[in-house]
Amino acid sequence: MIAKAILEITDRNSSNLTQPQALLQSIEKSISGRKFLLIMDDVWEDDDSKWKPLRACLKNGAPGSRILVTTRNTKVAKIIGTTYMHSLEPLSDSYCWSVLSQIAFRDREETECEMLKETGLEIAKKCKGLPLAAKTIGGLLRFKASPQEWPDVSNEMWGSEEARKDLFPLLRLSYNELHPRVKRCFSYCAIFPKDTTIKVDELIRIWMAQGFLLLSGNTVREMEQIGRNYFDDLAMRSFFQDFEKGKSGNNLIISCKMHDIIHDFAQFLTKNDCLIMERVDGGTQVVLGQNTRHITIMQPKGDTNLGAFSIWQAEQIRSCFCSRNEIPLNLFSCLKRVRLISLRACNLKDIPKEIGNLIHIRYLDVSSNMQIKELPETIYDLHYLQTLAVENCYSLDGLPAQGINKLVNLRHLLNSGSGRSSIHFRFPQGFEKLTNLRTLHEFRVYSNGNKLECLKGLNNLGGTLRILIGKDMDEHEAEKADLTSKKFIRELKLHTWHARIQVLEALQPHPNLQILHFRGFPFPKWITNNLTNLRGLTVNGTHMARPGIAYSLPPLGKLPLLEYLKVDEWGMQHVGHEFLGINETEPSNS
């Protein structure tokens, strides 16, 4: 079709050709030696085998020929062979207003336009930089005969059937291009309330708990990497926005949001499968529909204490988000098939032992419940558990003593901020057997408890790991951590207190490390000699700096990829040539 469109302009005599090869040969002949500009708008085809023949027949154009392609899919741009790519940012509120007003104010009197301007500006802000929304809503407003109807559009702009009629078919064009597995991941996002900041790693773990990231056949790909690929596919097609990126040098998106109209589209796709509800005064029962599979119970507006309540007809529920809320009385007895439970900041004092009956659960989040002091041993009966989140549970002194070896499928233990300063977070005997573990936020070493030897066989650990050690450790114990073998760790936070240099040298990480936060003294040699991929370094020597003693930094200039350096309380008086990694006598252009 593209070839025929080109020939209609370059060689009308050949436009009646139908065979692909004949079409391409005619294009090659017609443009040979001629300077041309070819523009292809809104391209979706990402099959390289279909682009190669077209690229080949366009190579004989005269110097200065150009091809301009617009697409919402960065994969298309790469496959076509783009030499320069310009990524467009969301429209500003003022530009959304410009697009919206040109359509909405067409054929209206100037005085009427001025009267509607303030309401129109508010509506433009709700478009949040989405040109498709600005155009469509502008079209809706244009045919609102009475100016008094504009505020109604502002309040219910995304829920109207008119908006859906115009917008959803266009969104479906992008949606239909997705792989069926990616479609399922997108539509599930309807479970998040509007304007929620979504943490990408958390989203991937949630998808994983629902079984969305399993591939058939023999594959060595990690589920987490599959999930990241699915997210990237959705992000480049503008199903997510408001991206925040990390500092690890790989430009990964760490959080995002969904545009309101995209969220409505996801809810439209799921119909009654995902339910977001807010309790009201006097309600003691929440009765779910027969087709509801995922539920989010939102915190009531205001400080009203609505009292206890129960969920009914919940046997089919797969996900239950009940964060910052009072939990249902029958939560641990009615969710027979649940795969995910999130109870963040629900003011829980304990987790009942009945949790062990939820044998299908993959994801359990009880973070920010500051009064929980212990977890029941029945939590180890959750054989399929993949993610356990106990972040910021300040009173929690650790994991139960017996049975942790049964959690053979545990991949993510999120425990940052757990355990009071006087109580170290305890890892029980057998923790070292959890070789499937991919994430461990924090590991504290103390004389009568946790030993670094627990980490020896956990070589699948990745992401960010914080290790805290004291002055009593010797280098032999430090060597048992075998940090050099943990090639997937990208960010290491190493906090030491008066540790000897031999101990610090024994804690050498893998060269793949990209970010290091080092709190201690002295400086181990491996930082400059081995960390060739290091991009970020934070150094803190608060508890080591002594008045009157001049400290110097090691030759950090030897690190070829270092992008940022933060030095805090090191007691330095000057920075000399040694910092650059050169001798005083060597010439320097720095």
What is the average per-residue pLDDT within 515-525?
Answer: 86
How does 322-347 read in b/e, with b if 16+ C-beta sit within 10 Å? bbebbbbeebbebbeebbbbbbbebe
- Cβ neighbours of residue 355 under 8 Å, at least 6 residues apart? 332, 364, 376, 378, 379, 382
> Could you check whether 170-264 and 461-590 share the same CATH topology?
no
Instruction: Report the range of poorest mean pLDDT among 8-12, 233-237, 401-405, 416-420.
Output: 8-12
pLDDT at 19: 80
State yes or no: pLDDT of 531 exceeds 70: yes
pLDDT at 386: 97
User: For residues 477 and 502, is the Cβ–Cβ distance under 8 A?
Assistant: no
pLDDT digits (tens, 9 = 90+) for 12-33: 666 567 788 888 888 888 888 9
pLDDT digits (tens, 9 = 90+) for 49-70: 888 888 888 888 999 999 999 8
Distance CA 581, CA 579 (A): 5
pLDDT top residue among 361 and 170: 361
- Cβ neighbours of residue 159 under 8 Å, at least 6 residues apart? 264
pLDDT at 280: 67
In CATH, what is the architecture of 461-590? Alpha-Beta Horseshoe (3.80)
What is the average per-residue pLDDT within 435-445?
Answer: 93
pLDDT at 114: 75
Question: For residue 476, what is the DSSP state?
Answer: H
State yes or no: pLDDT of 590 exceeds 50: no
**Residues shown for the chain:** 590
CATH number, domain 170-264, options 3.90.226.10, 1.10.10.10, 3.30.420.40, 3.10.20.30: 1.10.10.10
Distance CA 120, CA 117 (A): 5
State yes or no: pLDDT of 542 exceeds 60: no
What is the average per-residue pLDDT within 106-114?
Answer: 73
Query: What is the residue-averaged pLDDT of the chain?
Result: 83
Write out the two tokens for 125: 């802000």
What is the average per-residue pLDDT within 300-326?
Answer: 78
Neighbours of 430 (CB within 10 A): 17
Question: For residue 521, what is the DSSP state?
Answer: S
Distance CA 93, CA 415 (A): 40
The pTM of the full predicted model, rounded to 2 decimals, is 0.77
Domain boundaries, given as residue ranges, for the chain: 2-80, 93-157, 170-264, 461-590
pLDDT digits (tens, 9 = 90+) for 549-585: 556 677 888 888 988 888 876 666 667 776 776 654 4
Is residue 408 helix, strand or coil? coil
pLDDT at 255: 95
State yes or no: pLDDT of 421 exceeds 60: no
Q: What is the DSSP annotation of 208-277?
A: HHTTTT--SSS----HHHHHHHHHHHHHHTTSSEEEEE-SSSS--EEEEE--HHHHHHHHHHHTTSEEEE
What is the average per-residue pLDDT within 283-308?
Answer: 75
* Residue whose C-alpha is closest to residue 26's, from 51, 6, 47: 6
What is the average per-residue pLDDT within 79-105?
Answer: 83
What is the average per-residue pLDDT within 216-238?
Answer: 82
What is the average per-residue pLDDT within 268-297?
Answer: 81
What is the average per-residue pLDDT within 493-503?
Answer: 86
pLDDT digits (tens, 9 = 90+) for 174-215: 788 789 999 999 999 999 999 899 999 999 999 999 999 986
Q: What percent of the chain has pLDDT over 70?
A: 85
Return the H-helix or E-strand segment holding 311: strand 310-312
State yes or no: pLDDT of 142 exceeds 90: no
User: For residues 117 and 148, is the Cβ–Cβ distance under 8 A?
Assistant: no
